[in-house]
Amino acid sequence: FLSGGVPGGVLLLLFFLLTVNLSLQFLAASKLMDHNLKRRRQLTYSLLILLIYGILWIQFRPPLPRQRVVALPIASQDGLIPLEGSAFRLPEYLQQEALNNLTNRYLMHRWQWLLEAIPADSVKEPRAWISLARRMGALLIIESRKRDSRLEYRIYNKDDKTVSAWFVAEDTLNYRDLLDNLNEKLDIFENVRSVSHSEDRFLKAEALIILGKSEKALAVLHNLDNPQAQILRALIHFKKGLKIRIDREKAKYVKIQNPEFEQAKKILQSLVKNRQDNVQVAYLLGRIAVQEEKYDMAEVFLKKALIDDPTDARVYYALSFLLPARLEDLGYHKRTEVLEKALYYDPAFRDAVYELASEYYLSGTGTATGHGTTSAIRAITKYLKIRQGDPQILALLGSLYIKTNRLDEAQSIFTQLLQRFPQDSNLNYDLGIVFYHKKLYEKAIQYFRKAIKIDDNADAYLYLGLIYRDLGDPEKALHNFRERVRRRHGDDDTYAKEAMQGIRQILNKPVTESSGNAQ
């Protein structure tokens, strides 16, 4: 706090105070200055230095963090949140009102991001939404519920203290009274505008896409051909395209197209041509360009999306895949800075924390106590306080523990995850790696074989080959190495290359040496 944004901070202040006072002390001790004069000048110079520092502190003081506002979906009369577009009408309206219209004190958290972070079995429970909002540190929570033909809503803060008692609106489509109430009490919006409502069917389709129910979303969009429906169809194609694996090494020499991306681009480019594009169109075209490694095009679209909506965490996440040199005009010099910005806007953004923790680790020394490792673990720990028990991020933490030789902690994480997901091939594989590094080969073999049994886990064959090679059984080692090579994913498959190296080492090994090792 004392340093503020002043270059050198409080250390600079202490340096000047110490220098001036020691200099005056030296002059007095050398009889070059009277002691009374020394004391007066000590006081004068110290006050002058403090005054100058105070001015600098005010000048360079970083802005106060903006406070998060969360608008919950509208609960029905039974107290539950229905998976209908009408439930998301109010938070969507507030988001549109907030776009480039919030005062500097606040930021509006988006209902789409909340829905992504809510456990699937708790989507209908308002308490789950409220609990998540509080764990993210939301300052204000707007809760609403249907009562017959009326809409009731209230505003309360993170300490559950009511800012506004239940307020009744006779018109469930008119939120002007709520906006006036918010501004009167909290001064949230720069101006209270009249934004258009999104249609309920589009909101329902978007919610279904977020929940991974693309076919149901397509059914909702059936026979609709306006721009919003087309954008949602493009979003479905984009999400399907992310699941298609492309051999990038092979793609350098042979043109390989992702059919889902091609469908998405066809829709989006038509919208651009007809001047019906918006921030979503620019974002999706930018994300596709990143996936296709067309970074010049990605830079253009993503920067356009950022200009149109400078608070979208997903845009910052997409920008993080560009080289830092492309982002210097935005004020970013490292990939971690862009990912940190994404998490500032959405602290429950799983993909961003995964990339940030990985980037921290890779930029460090790889040691257990190095800055990169500790930063990665700190980012993961902060995230897990929000999305408790997230298996993907817990697995990442377990992998970091393996890399830093904290094998007992890694074993604990993967054992707990396997109790929740016993048929998960990757978790069996990860626990096998833990036991491999502990040289508990029998247990490692058990988990690698189970991973293979579940879904023919290709990388488990590599580790079985390494184990049998270490145990002095070249025949089983060769068998497993060859099985891994047969399952190679493409020319850039590093594990397949390692398996081929293992095959060459065994085949080129003298028989006498091999026999000696087998003993």
Residue 30 or residue 251, greater confidence: 30
More confident residue, 468 or 369: 468
112 vs 75: CA distance, rounded Å: 16
**Predicted pLDDT at 161:** 66
For residue 400, what are the contacts with CB-CB under 8 A and spacing of at least 6? 357, 361, 373, 376, 377, 380
pTM of this structure: 0.83
Q: Looking at residue 514, what is its pLDDT? A: 40
The whole-number pLDDT of residue 3 equals: 63
Specify the range with the lowest mean pLDDT, choosing from 107-121, 134-148, 283-297, 348-362: 134-148
The HSE-up count of residue 213 (CA atoms within 13 Å, CB side) is 14
Q: How confident is the model at residue 517 (pLDDT cuts 50, 70, 90)?
A: very low
Q: Beta-carbon neighbour count of residue 2 at 10 Å?
A: 11
| 516: confidence class by pLDDT, cuts 50, 70, 90 | very low
In whole angstroms, how far apart are CA 314 and each of 126, 319, 348, 437, 441?
A: 25, 9, 12, 37, 43
Q: Give pLDDT, residue 513.
A: 45
pLDDT tier at 102 (50, 70, 90 boundaries)?
confident
Whether pLDDT at 519 is above 50? no
Q: What is the pLDDT of residues 237-296, one digit of tens each?
A: 999 999 988 776 677 777 888 999 999 999 999 999 999 989 999 999 999 999 999 999
Q: Is the pLDDT of residue 402 over 80?
A: yes
Q: Which whole number is the average pLDDT over 297-305?
A: 97
Q: What is the pLDDT of residue 510?
A: 65
* Tokens matching residue 203: 């909101």
Phi-psi category of residue 437: left, alpha or beta, with phi > 0 → left and psi -120 to 50 → alpha: alpha
Query: Is 407 in contact with 430 (CB distance < 8 Å)?
Result: no
Query: Of residues 376 and 59, which shows the higher confidence score?
Result: 376
Structure confidence by residue, pLDDT tens digits, 145-198: 888 778 888 888 777 666 655 566 655 566 777 787 777 777 888 887 777 778
